[in-house]
Chains A and B, each alone.
Chain A
Amino acid sequence: MTASSLKDIAAALRARTVSAVELATDSLARIEAGNPQLNAFITLDRDGALAAARAADARIAAGDNGPLVGIPLAHKDVFCTEGVLTTCGSKMLSNFVSPYDAHVVTLLKQAGTVMVGKANMDEFAMGSSNENSHFGPSRNPWNPDCVPGGSSGGSAAAVAAGMVPIATGTDTGGSVRQPAAFCGITGIKPTYGTVSRYGMVAYASSLDQGGAFARSAEDCALLLSAMMGHDPRDSTSLARAAEDCSRDLSKPLAGLRIGLPREFFAEGMEGDVRAAVDAALDEYRRLGASTVEISLPNARLAIPAYYVIAPAEASSNLSRFDGVRYGHRAADYTDLMDMYRRSRAEGFGAEVQRRILVGTYVLSHGYYDAYYIKAQKLRRLIANDFAAAFRQCDVIAGPTTPSVAYGLGEKTSDPVQMYLGDIYTVAVNLAGLPGLSHPAGFGKGGLPVGLQLIGDYFSEARLLGAAHQFQQATDWHRRTPPI
């Protein structure tokens, strides 16, 4: 049942052929069976899940027709959950129990979802493979010797393995879309400012955005609609009316103009990914969409610009971890400075420390203009490229990743190799646009390939509608992994 569509689960709940308590119990049993191999969860909340499921059953008995009532879900461990551990994949927060819920957590509780646990992730959302988690890497359900992607790797692996039908994630440079692609599921990062960052542990605040995972675009639309909305507690939350992200699901593809960036269909994309992406685009054309070549001339600068801006913001955000108010404090120290330095050195993993060091350097006296301001100028050029492209097309399509999921340990020795894998996703965050990845077939080793759709600001419903039409004609999103 956890691998069924939300619509089918909701119908079964209403028909009383299954209860929310049974769904939660089933989800917990699948996690207990699969987690020793996949390590998709850091924390399980059995008691909380069963209590929430009983409350959901009462709501259903009272006639509540909400689409998410009684649906089991996983939250990425970056979202604060009152009374349940929130580690952010870090030793620094390995003992942190938040005194409050993130806004997204509150909204999804109100919607009646049943949180079964907290999903594994790269430490502080910094990583593309989930190998930077203090709690060990999550693994890809299609092949446990491969990475599930990152940083929201546990969320994607949990949905792909049928442990939960939906999960939350966050996407700062591709951390929803890339693991969705690697795990063969659908994931969407909405327009910056549409999902509140309140209670979402900060990495790079001008790029961080909550997002949704599910098997299908239809289910992503239901989850994302419940996550979006204005929140005065996030100073960058946009004051917009509630959105129904499902409103374009039945809109035909005829007339849709899909832009294909010349720079994405070039050197760098591996052959198996290219073949799957080309075949998916043929399907879009067969369904009535047209394609037009476009250009994003500054796209290649997105990685260097991102790896200045994100570490700069991270070095500032992570300065709050001082061993004083919460989080890890070293056992031995000589004075206050020594306590800070040892607590942070012990609490943060290698990649987090590297990004803090890069960020500290680019913000330091004498280098600010050469790095941080320069990167912000490139950010403007990248955003301008998208604005120009959207005068020629309605959505942009291309690969989500240059390759299918790679083996564990394959890229850990060289951070730069890991960073280059973000080539198709980071520009979207720099511009603040919505982006989605949906399954588009299989490549090398029988591993999933993702197709990325990028839309103009606030076009989430359009992106989900296009993906849904594709999914009505194909069954890639219904394929299930061996685990």
Chain B
Amino acid sequence: MTLSVDEVRHIAKLARLELADGELTATQAKLNGIFGLIEEMQAVDTEGVEPMSHPQELAQRLRDDAVTESDRRRAYQAIAPQTEAGLYLVPKVIE
């Protein structure tokens, strides 16, 4: 498998990463090298093998539906790039 430049551009868009046109071919070459390594997997017969998602395959624990966290909005927003009146500010998304 090899990725085309257009595919690299598409993945970067999905990943929300700006890739300058000048970086595209270098990134493409490195990604294709990595996929060359990954492709070794395809040679193995895994018919009937159950996928293992986690070392300890436990069900997620449930806790009581009760308030356990205190209000630390001020501390959390103190480290945000931009806030106003207790809200996170982002560029306008709705006209």
B78 at the interface (CB under 8 A from A): yes
Given contacts A357-B8, A377-B51, A344 and B16 within 8 Å (CB-CB): yes
A67 interfacial contact with B, CB 8 Å: no
User: Contacts A235-B61, A324-B81 hold; do A99 and B30 have CB atoms under 8 A apart?
Assistant: no
Known: A301-B44, A333-B91, A354-B27. A414 touches B33 (CB 8 A): yes
Instruction: Decide: A361 and B11 in contact? CB cutoff 8 A.
Output: yes
Give residues 394-447 of A contacting B (CB, 8 Å): 414-416, 419-420, 430-433
Q: A258 near B: Cβ within 8 Å?
A: no
Residues of B within 8 A of A315 (CB): 15
Q: Which of chain A's residues have a CB closer than 8 A to the CB of B46? A: 374, 377-378, 381
Interface residues on A, range: 35 or more
* Assembly CA distance A324 to B16 (angstroms): 14
Docked Cα-Cα span, A235 to B31, in Å, equals: 33
Q: Are A419 and B41 in contact (CB under 8 A)?
A: no
Chain B residues with CB under 8 Å of A356's CB are 15, 17
Chain A residues in 8 Å Cβ range of B79: 95-97, 99, 325-326
Closest A residue to B20 by CB, please name it.
Answer: A345
CB neighbours of B19 from chain A (8 A): 345
* Docked complex Cα distance between A332 and B78 (Å): 21
CB of A15 closer than 8 Å to a CB of B: no
Indicate whether B90 reaches chain A with its CB closer than 8 angstroms. yes
Among B38, B50, B60, the residue within 8 A (CB) of A307 is B38
A329 / chain B contacts, CB cutoff of 8 Å: 81-82
A325-B49 CB under 8 A given contacts A193-B56, A236-B56, A414-B33: no
A324-B88, A357-B11 are known contacts. Are A337 and B16 too (CB-CB below 8 A)?
yes
Once the chains bind, are B16 and A325 in contact (CB under 8 Å)? no
A238 within 8 A of B: yes
Interface string of B33-77 (1 = CB under 8 A from A): 111111111101010011111111010110100000000100110
Q: How many residues on B have C-beta within 8 angstroms of the other chain's C-beta atoms?
A: 52
Of the candidates A236, A304, A339, A345, which one forms a contact with B17 in the assembled complex, judged by CB atoms under 8 Å apart? A345
In the complex, chain B residues whose CB is within 8 Å of the CB of A303: 37
- Nearest chain B CB to A68 CB, angstrom units: 28
In the complex, B93 has a CB within 8 A of chain A: yes
Q: Is the CB of A377 within 8 A of B31?
A: no
A178 to B33 CA separation, bound complex (whole angstroms): 23
- Smallest Cβ distance from A235 to chain B, in angstroms? 6
- Chain B 15-28 interface mask (CB, 8 Å, partner A; 1/0): 11111000000010
Contacts of A358 in B (CB 8 A): 31, 34-35, 38
B80 pairs with A325, CB closer than 8 A:
yes
Interfacial chain A residues near B12, Cβ < 8 Å: 357
Nearest-Cβ distance from residue B85 to partner chain A, whole angstroms: 16
B91 touches A339 (CB 8 A): yes
Are B55's CB and A193's CB within 8 A? yes
Instruction: Please determine whether A357 and B31 come into contact, CB atoms closer than 8 angstroms.
Output: yes
Contact check, B81 vs A238: say whether CB atoms are below 8 A apart. Answer: no
Asked whether any CB of chain B lies closer than 8 Å to the CB of A118, the reply is no
Q: Which residues of chain A from 297 to 318 have any CB-CB distance to chain B below 8 Å in the complex?
A: 298, 300-301, 303-305, 307-308, 315
CB B22 to nearest CB in A, in angstroms, measures 13
Task: Please give, as numbers and ranges, the residues of chain B lying within 8 Å of A362 by CB-CB distance.
Answer: 38
Q: Would you give the shortest CB distance from B78 to chain A, in whole angstroms?
A: 7
Nearest-Cβ distance from residue B86 to partner chain A, whole angstroms: 13
How many angstroms between the C-alpha atoms of A376 and B52 in the bound complex? 5
Contact B31 A431 (CB under 8 A): no
Question: CB-CB < 8 A to A416: which residues of B?
Answer: 33-34, 36-37
Let me know if B41 and A304 touch, CB within 8 A.
Answer: yes
A192 touching B56, Cβ below 8 Å: yes
Q: Taking A319-B16, A344-B16 as contacts, is the C-beta distance between A325 and B37 under 8 angstroms?
A: no
Cα–Cα, bound, A415→B36 (Å) = 12
**Residues of chain A in range 121-141 having any CB-CB distance to chain B below 8 Å:** none
Q: A324-B81, A357-B12 are in contact. Are A380 and B49 (CB under 8 A)?
A: yes
Across-interface contacts of A381 in B (CB, < 8 A): 44, 46, 49
Given A235-B60, A360-B14: A192 touches B27 (CB 8 Å cut-off): no
In the bound complex, what is the Cα–Cα distance between A415 and B15 (angstroms)?
A: 20
A81 to B79, CA, bound (A): 14
B93: A residues at CB distance < 8 A: 335-336
A325 proximity list for chain B (CB < 8 A): 76, 79-80, 88
In whole Å, how far is B50's beta carbon from the nearest beta carbon of chain A? 6
Docked complex: A174-218 residues within 8 A CB-CB of B = 191-193, 206
Interchain nearest-CB distance for B82 vs A (Å): 7
**Any B CB within 8 A of the CB of A474:** no
9 nearest A-B pairs in the assembled complex, by CB-CB distance = A432-B55, A376-B51, A329-B81, A377-B46, A345-B18, A380-B52, A341-B18, A99-B75, A192-B55
Question: Which B residues are within 8 Å of any A CB, using their own CB?
Answer: 3, 7-8, 11-19, 27, 30-31, 33-42, 44, 46, 49-56, 58, 60-61, 63, 72, 75-76, 78-82, 88, 90-93
8 contacts between A and B (CB under 8 A): A236-B54, A304-B39, A307-B34, A328-B81, A329-B81, A329-B82, A377-B51, A420-B37
Known: A357-B11, A380-B50. 5 other contacts (CB 8 A): A95-B79, A336-B90, A360-B15, A430-B55, A432-B56
